[in-house]
Amino acid sequence: SNNKIDSRGALIVLEGLDRCGKTSQCSRLLSYLEELGHSVESWRFPDRNTGVGQMISSYLENKSHLDDHAIHLLFSANRWEKRSLMESKLKSGTTLIIDRYSFSGVAFSSAKGLDVEWCKAPEAGLLAPDIVIYLDISPEKAAERGGYGGERYEQLEFQKRVAQSYKMLRDSTWKIVDATLPIEDVEKQLRQIVMECVLKCQKGKPFVELWQ
Protein backbone atom coordinates (compact mmCIF):
# COMPACT_ATOMS: atom_id res chain seq x y z
CA SER A 1 0.00 0.00 0.00
CA ASN A 2 1.00 3.65 -0.16
CA ASN A 3 1.48 3.64 3.59
CA LYS A 4 4.17 1.00 3.53
CA ILE A 5 7.42 2.18 5.07
CA ASP A 6 10.47 1.47 2.93
CA SER A 7 12.80 0.47 5.71
CA ARG A 8 16.44 0.37 4.58
CA GLY A 9 20.01 0.26 5.79
CA ALA A 10 21.98 3.45 6.43
CA LEU A 11 24.85 4.70 4.25
CA ILE A 12 27.45 5.99 6.66
CA VAL A 13 30.73 7.47 5.44
CA LEU A 14 33.84 8.24 7.48
CA GLU A 15 36.22 10.82 6.07
CA GLY A 16 39.37 12.54 7.22
CA LEU A 17 43.09 12.94 6.74
CA ASP A 18 45.45 10.02 6.63
CA ARG A 19 45.98 8.69 10.22
CA CYS A 20 42.81 10.33 11.59
CA GLY A 21 41.61 6.94 12.86
CA LYS A 22 38.90 6.09 10.29
CA THR A 23 39.92 2.48 9.89
CA SER A 24 39.98 1.85 13.65
CA GLN A 25 36.57 3.49 14.11
CA CYS A 26 34.98 1.66 11.17
CA SER A 27 35.88 -1.70 12.64
CA ARG A 28 34.63 -0.69 16.09
CA LEU A 29 31.32 0.48 14.63
CA LEU A 30 30.98 -2.75 12.69
CA SER A 31 31.38 -4.87 15.86
CA TYR A 32 29.02 -2.62 17.80
CA LEU A 33 26.20 -2.84 15.26
CA GLU A 34 26.74 -6.59 14.79
CA GLU A 35 26.47 -7.13 18.55
CA LEU A 36 23.17 -5.25 18.53
CA GLY A 37 21.94 -7.67 15.87
CA HIS A 38 21.94 -5.27 12.92
CA SER A 39 22.77 -6.37 9.39
CA VAL A 40 25.91 -4.37 8.65
CA GLU A 41 29.01 -4.43 6.43
CA SER A 42 32.11 -2.29 6.35
CA TRP A 43 33.51 -1.20 2.97
CA ARG A 44 36.39 1.01 1.96
CA PHE A 45 37.38 3.09 -1.05
CA PRO A 46 39.55 2.64 -2.90
CA ASP A 47 38.40 -0.97 -3.12
CA ARG A 48 41.74 -2.39 -4.23
CA ASN A 49 40.27 -5.81 -5.10
CA THR A 50 38.65 -4.87 -8.43
CA GLY A 51 40.52 -4.45 -11.73
CA VAL A 52 40.27 -0.67 -11.46
CA GLY A 53 41.26 -0.94 -7.78
CA GLN A 54 44.49 -2.69 -8.73
CA MET A 55 45.44 0.18 -11.03
CA ILE A 56 44.74 2.64 -8.21
CA SER A 57 46.76 0.59 -5.76
CA SER A 58 49.78 0.48 -8.03
CA TYR A 59 49.53 4.27 -8.47
CA LEU A 60 49.31 4.89 -4.71
CA GLU A 61 52.35 2.67 -4.14
CA ASN A 62 54.29 4.78 -6.67
CA LYS A 63 54.65 1.77 -8.94
CA SER A 64 52.94 3.53 -11.84
CA HIS A 65 52.42 7.08 -13.00
CA LEU A 66 49.07 8.46 -14.17
CA ASP A 67 47.83 11.86 -15.21
CA ASP A 68 45.98 13.61 -12.33
CA HIS A 69 42.70 13.64 -14.28
CA ALA A 70 43.03 9.98 -15.23
CA ILE A 71 43.58 8.78 -11.65
CA HIS A 72 40.68 10.95 -10.49
CA LEU A 73 38.37 9.20 -12.94
CA LEU A 74 39.66 5.79 -11.86
CA PHE A 75 38.82 6.54 -8.21
CA SER A 76 35.35 7.56 -9.37
CA ALA A 77 34.95 4.47 -11.58
CA ASN A 78 35.91 2.37 -8.56
CA ARG A 79 32.83 3.77 -6.75
CA TRP A 80 30.59 3.33 -9.81
CA GLU A 81 31.58 -0.35 -9.99
CA LYS A 82 30.05 -0.80 -6.55
CA ARG A 83 26.99 1.46 -6.91
CA SER A 84 24.35 -1.13 -7.78
CA LEU A 85 25.56 -3.55 -5.10
CA MET A 86 25.50 -0.65 -2.64
CA GLU A 87 21.89 0.20 -3.47
CA SER A 88 20.71 -3.41 -3.27
CA LYS A 89 22.44 -3.94 0.10
CA LEU A 90 20.84 -0.81 1.52
CA LYS A 91 17.41 -1.74 0.16
CA SER A 92 17.68 -5.19 1.70
CA GLY A 93 18.23 -3.54 5.09
CA THR A 94 22.00 -3.76 5.41
CA THR A 95 23.79 -0.74 6.86
CA LEU A 96 27.10 0.14 5.19
CA ILE A 97 29.96 1.78 7.07
CA ILE A 98 32.31 3.18 4.45
CA ASP A 99 35.92 4.25 4.91
CA ARG A 100 36.34 7.15 2.38
CA TYR A 101 34.01 8.07 -0.51
CA SER A 102 33.49 10.82 -3.08
CA PHE A 103 34.63 13.52 -0.64
CA SER A 104 38.10 11.96 -0.59
CA GLY A 105 37.94 11.92 -4.36
CA VAL A 106 37.28 15.65 -4.59
CA ALA A 107 39.46 16.70 -1.63
CA PHE A 108 42.59 14.89 -2.81
CA SER A 109 42.33 15.77 -6.50
CA SER A 110 41.47 19.42 -5.89
CA ALA A 111 44.42 19.61 -3.47
CA LYS A 112 46.57 18.85 -6.53
CA GLY A 113 45.05 21.86 -8.28
CA LEU A 114 42.22 20.31 -10.31
CA ASP A 115 39.02 22.35 -10.60
CA VAL A 116 36.51 21.45 -7.87
CA GLU A 117 33.47 21.38 -10.17
CA TRP A 118 35.34 19.18 -12.64
CA CYS A 119 36.21 16.85 -9.76
CA LYS A 120 32.60 16.63 -8.56
CA ALA A 121 31.07 15.92 -11.97
CA PRO A 122 31.80 12.16 -12.26
CA GLU A 123 30.46 11.59 -8.73
CA ALA A 124 26.99 12.93 -9.62
CA GLY A 125 24.44 10.12 -9.43
CA LEU A 126 26.25 8.04 -6.84
CA LEU A 127 24.23 7.54 -3.67
CA ALA A 128 24.64 10.36 -1.17
CA PRO A 129 25.59 9.22 2.34
CA ASP A 130 22.97 9.61 5.07
CA ILE A 131 25.78 11.04 7.17
CA VAL A 132 29.41 11.90 6.67
CA ILE A 133 31.45 11.65 9.85
CA TYR A 134 34.57 13.80 9.54
CA LEU A 135 37.28 12.77 11.97
CA ASP A 136 38.90 16.12 12.57
CA ILE A 137 42.64 16.29 13.25
CA SER A 138 45.28 18.80 12.18
CA PRO A 139 47.78 17.59 9.59
CA GLU A 140 50.60 18.16 12.11
CA LYS A 141 48.94 16.04 14.81
CA ALA A 142 48.11 13.32 12.31
CA ALA A 143 51.75 13.17 11.20
CA GLU A 144 52.82 12.77 14.86
CA ARG A 145 50.87 9.51 15.01
CA GLY A 146 53.61 7.97 12.93
CA GLY A 147 53.23 5.17 10.50
CA TYR A 148 53.28 7.56 7.54
CA GLY A 149 54.24 4.97 4.96
CA GLY A 150 55.74 5.48 1.56
CA GLU A 151 52.44 6.04 -0.22
CA ARG A 152 52.02 8.91 -2.58
CA TYR A 153 49.93 11.35 -0.54
CA GLU A 154 51.51 10.82 2.86
CA GLN A 155 53.27 14.18 3.10
CA LEU A 156 52.54 17.05 5.46
CA GLU A 157 52.30 19.90 2.93
CA PHE A 158 49.91 17.94 0.76
CA GLN A 159 47.77 16.87 3.73
CA LYS A 160 47.41 20.58 4.66
CA ARG A 161 45.89 21.31 1.25
CA VAL A 162 43.61 18.28 1.56
CA ALA A 163 42.34 19.59 4.92
CA GLN A 164 41.46 22.92 3.25
CA SER A 165 39.65 21.14 0.42
CA TYR A 166 37.60 19.06 2.85
CA LYS A 167 36.44 22.26 4.58
CA MET A 168 34.65 23.58 1.50
CA LEU A 169 32.81 20.27 0.97
CA ARG A 170 31.03 20.34 4.34
CA ASP A 171 27.24 20.44 4.25
CA SER A 172 24.34 19.64 6.56
CA THR A 173 24.94 15.87 6.35
CA TRP A 174 28.37 16.27 7.97
CA LYS A 175 29.17 15.64 11.63
CA ILE A 176 32.57 16.92 12.70
CA VAL A 177 34.12 14.86 15.47
CA ASP A 178 37.32 15.73 17.34
CA ALA A 179 39.65 12.89 16.30
CA THR A 180 42.35 13.87 18.82
CA LEU A 181 40.28 12.58 21.75
CA PRO A 182 41.10 9.13 23.16
CA ILE A 183 39.96 6.36 20.83
CA GLU A 184 37.16 5.22 23.19
CA ASP A 185 35.74 8.76 23.47
CA VAL A 186 35.62 9.11 19.69
CA GLU A 187 33.96 5.69 19.53
CA LYS A 188 31.30 6.73 22.04
CA GLN A 189 30.35 9.81 19.99
CA LEU A 190 30.25 7.81 16.78
CA ARG A 191 27.97 5.16 18.28
CA GLN A 192 25.42 7.82 19.14
CA ILE A 193 25.57 9.56 15.75
CA VAL A 194 25.32 6.26 13.88
CA MET A 195 22.45 4.80 15.91
CA GLU A 196 20.37 7.92 15.34
CA CYS A 197 20.98 7.63 11.61
CA VAL A 198 20.26 3.88 11.47
CA LEU A 199 16.89 4.47 13.14
CA LYS A 200 15.96 7.22 10.68
CA CYS A 201 16.74 4.95 7.75
CA GLN A 202 14.72 2.12 9.28
CA LYS A 203 11.79 4.55 9.25
CA GLY A 204 12.18 5.01 5.51
CA LYS A 205 14.38 8.08 5.00
CA PRO A 206 14.42 8.55 1.18
CA PHE A 207 17.57 8.03 -0.91
CA VAL A 208 19.36 11.08 -2.25
CA GLU A 209 22.00 11.21 -4.99
CA LEU A 210 25.19 13.23 -4.96
CA TRP A 211 25.75 16.55 -6.56
CA GLN A 212 23.20 17.00 -9.31
Query: For residues 130-159, which are near ligand Z5A according to CB under 6 A?
Result: 145, 147, 153-154
Q: Considering the complex, state which of residue 138 and residue 202 has its C-beta at the smaller distance from ligand Z5A.
A: 138
How far does CA 103 lie from the centroid of its chain?
7
Q: Tell me if 186 contacts ligand Z5A by CB under 6 A.
A: yes
CB of 38 to ligand Z5A, least distance (A): 22
Query: Residues with Cβ < 8 Å from 52, sequence gap 6 or more?
Result: 74, 77, 78, 81
**Residues between 103 and 132 with contacts to ligand Z5A, criterion CB under 6 A:** 104-105, 108
Looking at the Cβ atoms of 20 and 201, the one nearer to ligand Z5A is 20
19 lies in the binding site for ligand Z5A (CB under 6 A): yes
Question: Residues 6 or more apart from 151 whose CB is under 8 A from it?
Answer: 60, 61, 62
The nearest distance, CB 45 to ligand Z5A, in angstroms, is 4
| DSSP class per residue in 1-28 | -TT-------EEEEE-STTSSHHHHHHH
8 vs 12 by CB, closer to ligand Z5A: 12
Q: How far is the CB of 212 from ligand Z5A (least distance, A)?
A: 18
Q: Given 3-state DSSP classes, what are the helix, strand and coil percentages for the chain, each rounded to the nearest 5?
A: 50, 15, 35
- Residue closer to ligand Z5A (CB basis): 188 or 200: 188
Q: Which stretch binds ligand Z5A (CB under 6 A): 1-9, 15-23, 193-201, 204-212?
A: 15-23
DSSP-derived 3-state class of residue 52: helix
Asked if residues 100 and 126 have their Cβ atoms less than 8 Å apart, the reply is no
| DSSP reduced 3-state for 208 | coil
60 near ligand Z5A, judged by CB under 6 A: yes
Q: Which of 12, 13, 15, 22 binds ligand Z5A (CB under 6 A)?
A: 22
